[in-house]
Amino acid sequence: MTQQSLLTPRSLGTARGLLAGVLCACLATAATGQLVSPIVAERGATPDGSRLTNLSVGANWNSPVNPSLPTFVITHGYNPLPNHYQLTTPQAYALKIRSRFGGNVNVLAFHWDSRGQGSPQGNNANAIGAGIALARELAARGVAPANTTMIGHSMGTVVVTTAANAISRHSGSCTRKLVLLDAPKRRHPLLVEALENTCAMEVNNIWAGGILGLGAPMNHPRIRDYQAPSREPQATGQNWNDPARNNHIDILLWYYDTLL
């Protein structure tokens, strides 16, 4: 699992309660005046709707891309406290990629209204709707799917997979690569169903183990499974707000530090 192979385009029940508890506890460190990391979240209410921001060198937020260049699209997962926090992984990753490749790539950050919808079915439908919206936006910006890597975390894996599926269905184009960061195991059937009818040249499922990781191997012939390393010993529930002991959150920091 090399930096080149994973990064560049070239190459609801107990589980729902656990997810909400893990993320709420991490974000709730506001009580001490600290956030998990600016790579994960920052203070401020989450805007309604979705927004695709072009963070490429010299671009305005709504500029079209240069379709001849590799494109990276990054999105976030479920936000349990949307009135208090914005999830910042998309722009953090986009700016890191831009600093590495400069004007030789397009970098796009996709934010969607990922607040809870009251049921697993509602949350799924919300993420699917965001993915369809993302596919429309990518087409409007002139993105070339065959030159595009999409990265999603948690429920954001449903978003990017749905977007790739919509691109395949509407244009017949293949997306270069999907990177799924700790896709929740209970969403695996949904992801596999979408991927069955999706043209994606490469799909990487990078999952976090341990009691606070929500992913798992997908064991599908079209998907490459990788386990992210657990960088610290696992801890019990009282330490959910420590990202070093919360693999579902730490995978974002590990990917940022190691592969971007």
Contact criterion met (CB below 8 Å) for 77 and 126: no
What pLDDT shows up at residue 75? 98
Percent of the chain with pLDDT over 70: 80
> Residue 2: is its pLDDT beyond 90?
no
In a 3-state reduction of DSSP, which class is residue 65?
A: coil
Mean pLDDT value across the chain: 85
CB atoms within 10 A of CB 18: 18
Percent of the chain with pLDDT over 90: 63
Indicate the domain borders of the chain: 12-258
Contact criterion met (CB below 8 Å) for 214 and 19: yes
> Residue 233: is its pLDDT beyond 70?
no
What pLDDT shows up at residue 235? 47
Task: Name, in order, each residue with C-beta under 8 angstroms of 108's C-beta and a sequence gap of 6 or more.
Answer: 52, 53, 54, 55, 56, 65, 71, 72, 73, 74, 94, 138, 141, 143
Query: Quick one: pLDDT band at residue 242, thresholds 50, 70, 90?
Result: low
The pTM (predicted TM-score) of the whole model is: 0.86
Cα–Cα distance for residue pair 76/82, rounded to 1 Å: 13
Phi, psi of 32 (to 5 degrees): -100, 5
H/E element holding 234? Answer: none
Contact criterion met (CB below 8 Å) for 54 and 137: no
Task: Name, in order, each residue with C-beta under 8 angstroms of 222's C-beta and a sequence gap of 6 or more.
Answer: 195, 200, 203
pLDDT in tens, 106-165: 999 999 999 887 788 999 999 999 999 999 999 999 999 999 999 999 999 999 999 999
pLDDT in tens, 40-71: 888 888 887 899 999 999 999 999 999 999 99
> Residue 102: is its pLDDT beyond 80?
yes
Beta bridge partners of 108: 54, 73
CA 8 to chain centre: 16
In a 3-state reduction of DSSP, which class is residue 54?
A: strand
Contact criterion met (CB below 8 Å) for 17 and 10: no
Amino acid identity, residue 191?
L
CATH match for 12-258 among 3.40.50, 1.10.1760, 1.10.760, 2.60.40: 3.40.50
What pLDDT shows up at residue 232? 56
Across 15-24, 97-106, 166-175, 238-247, least confident range: 15-24
Cα–Cα distance for residue pair 256/260, rounded to 1 Å: 5
What pLDDT shows up at residue 3? 35
> Residue 8: is its pLDDT beyond 50?
no
Contact criterion met (CB below 8 Å) for 99 and 40: no
